[in-house]
Structure 1
Amino acid sequence: RVVVVANRLPVRVQRGDNGELLYSISPGGMVSALLGVRGMRMIWVGWAEIDDTTAAEREQIRRTLWRREIRPRFSREMQPRRRLCEDSSACEPVSLPKSGARLHYAGFCNDVLWPLFHYVTDLRSGFHAQWEAYQAVNGHFAAAVARVARPNDLVWVHDYHLMLLPGLLRARQPRLRIGWFLHTPFPSLEVFRTLPMRKEILSGLLAADLLGFHIYDYSRHFLHACTQLMGSELSLESRGIAWDMPLPAAGGGGGGGGTMRHSVRVDAFPIGIDPDRFRRALDAAEVKGRVLELQRQYAGVSVLLGVDRVDYIKGFSTPNGRAGIPHKLLAMETLLETHPQYVGRVVLLQIAVPTRTDVPEYQKLRAAAHELVGRINGRFGSPGYAPVQYLDKSVDFAELAALYHTSAALSINRLGMNLVAYEYVACQQAAKGVLVLSEFAGAAQALEG
């Protein structure tokens, strides 16, 4: 069996208006990334995303998710996720205290690790309490995995939220096969070493059997960090590391039980998409009809498409502190200023997918983007023409496929793997759209040449 461990479950639990518990399929990228996995029995372990529950409700949630007694409603574009949920054997929810969950996710993960892994070093006061919550939450996950994992199971841990978990699991169940995959970049040594708890995190990861990264550069950064920060405990092997892993003392606890030579394979596993899914979509009547509508709507106009998460980290910094989507808007403004012949002939259609809307930095970024959109449309727009069309929402799969197919170009911000680049190429087919891809995006290595 495969035990998939991620910060969130593929099923979201929410409380309805009348206090009842409601279940729906999570919209996260982790679920999408595993759409192609077939013929494998998986048990998911993750945070249930609901607090203020009674002990009886927590037991009810656990029984419902374990037995898959879920009957959420699925739209057409969610059918693949329905199949994924049904193919999974069960879900084991992790219940977290509200304050601990906030300090872990919105605190250490989003305030410390996420910026750091995208080359923004800005440790703020209070990160010690966030680190304590991060350790505690990883402990809760270890206990949840221990409830369901058998000695010879394969435990597949995901992402930066759970970097201590491999070490905690190894101490509990030494025979487990443990893998970990990072869905973000891993920074260079010069950046990673600014993290005060760097050795604790590396020790937690090195207890796994396999560590996976998007591209070779990220795995190389990790190996460099290990050799420089862990000292004589490590020796490089072919595609991996051998190190003297501390053993727990008799009766449990941390170290104190000596060491054991442990080998860890470190490699790059570029994540991809199912291109046939997008090709099939272009043959669907609904998408064909939408393509014709878009071609009529933008007749004589070239559409420059942007599909980005609203994220203040992903993008180049500008002198005024703006980055990401605002940077792209400024580029559009510069284009119209320096090449006025394109006014009325080109449109930037920016899909800005909301994320972490409760974080102040994201609220500031959204406000900055709205200000720029108003300024550009006010300067260069006219009746019937708005140079920037900005959508503060995600769009469904059929609409996205149609937009990919009809747009003249797609612009991608830097960093991360950016699977949107693959999706755009899959939907172009006979069209000759231009992919403008930052060299810092992980997908650039796979698409080079």
Structure 2
Amino acid sequence: MTRLIVVSNRVNPPTGKGDETVGGLAMALSAALREYSGLWFGWSGKTTETFTGELNVERHDGVTVATVDLEESDLNEYYNGYANKTLWPLFHYRQDLTAYDRSYGEGYERVNQRFAETLAPLIEPGDLVWVHDYHLIPLARELRRLGVKNRIGFFLHIPWPAHQLMVTLPGHQKLVQSLFDYDLVGFQTPDYRQAFEEYVLTEAQGVMVGSDLRAFGRTVKVGAFPIGVDAAEFAQMAKSERAWRTYNVMMAHTAFRSLIVGVDRLDYSKGLEERFAGFEHFLADNPEVRREVLFLQIAPVSREGVEAYQEIRARLDSLSGRINGEYADIDWNPVRYVNKNYRRDELAGVYRAARVGLVTPLRDGMNLVAKEFVAAQDPDDPGVLILSRFAGAADQLKQALMVNPNSPEEISEALKRALAMELPERIARWTQMFETVTRDDVSAWRDAYVGALSGVRETYTALAS
């Protein structure tokens, strides 16, 4: 059987005990690795004084992982620097937050080279190599330089920016050219794939060869592969003992109020400030129902070493305090805002208790919270999903109430409509969305991508001389 090697920046395998926190990538990759023999390679999350390339190999819940420690300078320049101060904001259309620093780019190149040198000896003939996300765009180029001829695929979990935005990145063509060392490049949606194709056709004088893309003397397959969740498993998790305990706690604490819930990593791309403003607008516009709702926002802190994340945390603290100060009563606060991680089974209970799921990123590759919210609902009394039209999930979950997250008026109106929606309409909308997340689940995503990668040429053909 073909072996699958998954490569990502961080290796964070689930324990199989239901205690994983916000974020679906670890679950998706682990599901793939349990299906195909192989290993998961990446950074351990630890730093060392001097990079040695020494591997730490372990097995977690049926998944073999191989990790390597990085130097502190690697962390600062590659991860906090180029990945999260340059590529992340730019790809999420936040050019105002994008930092360009030569040392960041040097660190990015250095770590990708180190990853390749450590990984290459582990790759056997016939292995499929599946590289994930913006941290590791040049990895295939480095592996090819070391003589690796295996089929190598890349999947981008975040948006690919518009052509006009991409060209603002210094060295953009070199970065894009490195993607042509892959055999297959996958995106979350057709829109992101088309944005990539537009860049290549315009900036690199590329051409379409059937459904393939040719530029820089090489040909690469491109495709859209929307990632899913294990919907059936998550629906079952919502009925687990811990999920029911969480559900009952939420129902008791809302005191017969309608629960509105948002669950996001603390990040400026998630539209949290805009979401708070939309809820504040709802409270101002609907005084007759103010005391009938409670908005719970769960936002675990991330990337504390990046200044932009420190700033958004401070602004959200201020916003939640202002809203509560304006509208709270002695026995009720309209906003409950927490920066804590919760187990997935606990989140399933929270979702099931919610009348409204408020998922309003400013820009998102997919957004698996939206899909997990759908999977967790009670079929006889489902909640309503309000979803940003700029989330990749909007392509699939068309029965959600779509909003422009930049408009507090649209969020307010959607909240009013969701809270007033009658049961038959709620069931009809949920049923179609649940069918979608069940059909297009993580297994379908895995099989579609690995199947496409398996179908490309047997070996890498180097740049023609």
- Using the size of structure 1 for normalisation, the TM-score is 0.81
Per the alignment, in what secondary structure is the counterpart of residue 223 of structure 2?
strand
1:436 Cα deviation after fit:
0.5
Tell me the distance in 2 between the aligned counterparts of 1:393 and 1:409.
20
Per-residue deviation, 1:276: 1.4
Map Cα deviations across residues 197-227 of structure 1 (whole Å, 9 max, x no partner).
1111111101111001111111111111111
- Overall identity of the aligned pairs, in %: 35
1:28 deviation in Å?
6.0
SS of the counterpart of 2:174?
helix
Quote how far apart the aligned CAs of 1:27 are: 7.8
Residue from 87, 92, 102 that aligns with 2:63: 87
Change (3 A) 1:130 1:289: closer
Following the alignment from structure 2 to structure 1, what is the Cα–Cα distance between the partners of residues 309 and 63? 35
> Deviation at 1:52?
3.1
1:137 aligns with 2:111: yes
Give, as a single letter, the amino acid of the residue that structure 1 aligns with 2:143.
L
**Distance between the aligned counterparts of 1:3 and 1:177, measured in 2?**
11
How far 1:29 moved relative to its partner? 4.1
Q: Partner of 2:248 in structure 1?
A: 292
Task: Assess, with a 3 A threshold, how the Cα gap between structure 1 residues 297 and 10 changes in structure 2: closer, same or farther.
Answer: closer
Gap runs ≥5 in structure 1: 13-23, 71-81, 246-261, 315-323
Alignment partners' CA distance in 1, 2:20 and 2:234:
21
CA contact (8 A) 1:242 1:264 kept: yes
**Could you tell me whether the CA contact under 8 Å between 1:11 and 1:26 is conserved in 2?**
no
- SS state of the match for residue 186, structure 1? coil
Distance 1:201 1:237, change over 3 A: same
Q: Deviation of residue 153 (structure 1)? A: 1.7
1:187 aligns to 2:161 (yes or no): yes
Counterpart residue type for residue 277 of structure 2: L
After TM superposition, the structure 1 stretch with the greater mean CA deviation from structure 2, 144-153 or 265-274, is: 144-153
Q: Which residue of 1 aligns with 2:25?
A: 30
| Counterpart position of 1:252 | none
- Give the deviation of 1:45 after TM superposition: 2.0
How far apart, in 2, do the equivalents of 1:28 and 1:292 lie? 24
Query: Which residue in the other structure is 1:446 paired with?
Result: 396
1:44 aligns with 2:40: yes
CA-CA distance at 1:53 after TM superposition: 4.9
Who is 2:12 aligned against? 10
Query: CA distance change for structure 1 residues 26 and 54 in 2, over 3 Å: closer, same or farther?
Result: farther
**SS at the partner of 1:265?**
strand
Residue deviations 1:336-392 (CA, integer Å, cap 9, x gap): 112111221111111112111222211111111111111111111112201001111
Displacement of 1:25 in angstroms is 9.1
Structure 1: which amino acid aligns with 2:244? K
| Equivalent pair of 1:94/1:140 in contact (CA under 8 Å) | no
Per the alignment, residue 211 of structure 2 pairs with 239
Question: 2:259 aligned to 290, 296, 303, which one?
Answer: 303
In structure 1, distance between residues paired with 2:257 and 2:284: 18
Is 1:436 aligned with 2:386? yes
> 1:345 and 1:271, CA in 2 relative to 1: closer, same or farther beyond 3 A?
same
Unaligned runs of 5+ in 2: 400-465
Task: Calculate the aligned-residue CA RMSD, in Å.
Answer: 2.3
Classify 1:348/1:25 alpha carbon distance in 2 versus 1 (closer, same or farther; 3 Å). Answer: closer
Q: Which whole-Å CA distance do the structure 2 matches of 1:51 and 1:27 have between them?
A: 24
Kept in 2: contact 1:45–1:144 (CA 8 A): no
Contact 2:49 2:72 in 1 (8 A): no
Hey, which of these two has a bigger chunk of helix by percent?
2
TM superposition shift of 1:263? 2.5
- Give 1:344's aligned residue: 291
Q: Distance in 1 between matches of 2:207 and 2:144?
A: 20
Asked if 1 retains the 8 angstrom alpha-carbon contact of 2:238 and 2:244, the reply is yes
The answer to whether the 8 A contact 1:351-1:390 is kept is yes
| Corresponding residue number in structure 2 for 1:330 | 277
Q: Distance in 1 between matches of 2:336 and 2:43?
A: 36
**Are the equivalent residues in 1 in contact too, given 2:262–2:357 (CA < 8 A)?**
yes
For residue 293 of structure 1, what is the amino acid of its counterpart?
Answer: V
SS in 1 for 2:35: coil
Native 8 Å contact 2:297 2:338 kept in 1? yes
- Measured at CA, do residues 395 and 235 of structure 1 come closer, stay the same or move farther in structure 2, by a change above 3 Å? same
Inter-partner Cα distance in structure 1 for 2:140 and 2:164: 25
Question: Is 1:396 the counterpart of 2:343 in the alignment?
Answer: yes
Name the structure 2 match of 1:406: 353
Secondary structure, aligned partner of 1:49: strand
TM-score when normalising by structure 2: 0.79
Does 1:364 pair with 2:311?
Answer: yes
